[in-house]
Structure 1
Amino acid sequence: MDLYLIHQPFGDYYGSWQAMEELYREGRIRAIGVCNFYPDRLTDLCANASVIPSVDQVELHPFFQQAGALQAMRELGVQPQAWGPLAEGTHGIFQKEVLSAIGKKYDKTVAQVVLRWNVQRGVSIIPKSVHRNRMEENLAIWDFALGDEDMAAITQMDLGHSEIIDHSSPETAKWLNSWKIHD
Structure 2
Amino acid sequence: MEKILLNDGNEIPAIGFGVFRIPNDGSTYQAVLDALEAGYRHIDTAVAYFNEEEVGRAIKDSGIERDQIFVTSKLWLQDYGYEAAKKGLEVSLKKLGLDYIDLYLLHQPYGDVAGAWRALEEAKKEGKIKSIGVSNMTPKLWGKFVPNFKTIPAVNQVEFNPYFQQVELKKVLDKNNVKIEAWGPLGQGNRDLFNEPIIKKLSDKYNKDVGQIILRFENQEGIIVLPKSTHKARIASNLNIFDFSLTDDEIDQMRTLDKGHGSHNPDAPGVEEMLLSAFDVHEND
Structure 1 and Structure 2 fold alike (TM over 0.5): yes
Confirm or deny: 8 A CA contact 1:46 1:76 kept in the other structure: no
Cα distance, 1:182–1:93 mapped onto 2, change above 3 Å? closer
SS of residue in 1 equivalent to 2:216: helix
Among candidates 155, 162, 186, match of residue 86 of structure 1: 186
- Aligned partner of 1:133 in structure 2 is 233
TM-score calculated relative to the size of structure 2 = 0.61
How far apart in 2 are the matches of 1:3 and 1:181?
A: 23
- 2:80 alignment partner in structure 1: none
Cα-to-partner distance string for 1:25-76 (whole Å, 9 max, x where unaligned): 1111111111011123224433222221111000110111111111211112
CA distance in structure 1 between the partners assigned to 2:117 and 2:264 by the alignment = 23
Task: State the AA in 1 paired with 2:277.
Answer: S
* Backbone CA RMSD of aligned residues: 1.7
Runs of 4+ in 1 over 6 A off after TM superposition: none
For 2:272, the aligned partner's letter is A
Aligned partners of 1:14, 1:90: CA distance in 2, in Å? 35
Checking the alignment, whether the CA contact within 8 Å between 2:217 and 2:246 is kept in structure 1 is yes
- Unmatched runs of 5 consecutive residues or more in structure 1: none
The alignment's TM-score, normalised by the length of structure 1, stands at 0.92
Secondary structure in 2 matching 1:160: coil
Residue 2 of structure 1 aligns to a residue whose secondary structure is strand
Q: For structure 2, which runs of at least 5 residues remain unmatched after alignment?
A: 1-100
Please give the residue correspondences for 1:41-120 in structure 2 after superposition, counting only pairs within 5 Å.
Answer: 41-120=141-220
Deviations 1:59-102 (A, max 9, x none): 11011111111121111221111000001012422222211101
Match of 1:171 in 2: 270
Other structure's SS at 2:105 match: strand
**Is residue 2:222 matched to residue 1:122?**
yes
2:113 counterpart (2, 9, 13): 13
Secondary structure in 2 matching 1:128:
coil
More deviation, 150-159/22-31? 150-159
Question: Are 2:159 and 2:264, in contact at CA under 8 Å, matched by a contact in 1?
Answer: no
SS of alignment partner, residue 203 of structure 2: helix
Contact (CA 8 Å) 2:113, 2:145: kept in 1 or not? no
Q: 1:151 Cα deviation (Å)?
A: 1.2
Given the alignment, which residue of 244, 261, 275 partners 1:144?
244
SS at match of 1:14: helix
1:31 aligns with 2:131: yes
Shift of residue 11, structure 1, vs aligned partner:
0.6
1:140-170 per-position Cα deviation (integer Å, ceiling 9, x unaligned): 11111111221122111111111x2121111
| Structure 1 residue 180, shift from structure 2 partner | 6.2
Which SS does the other structure have where 2:270 is aligned?
Answer: helix
Match of 2:7 in 1: none
Amino acid at match of 2:141: R
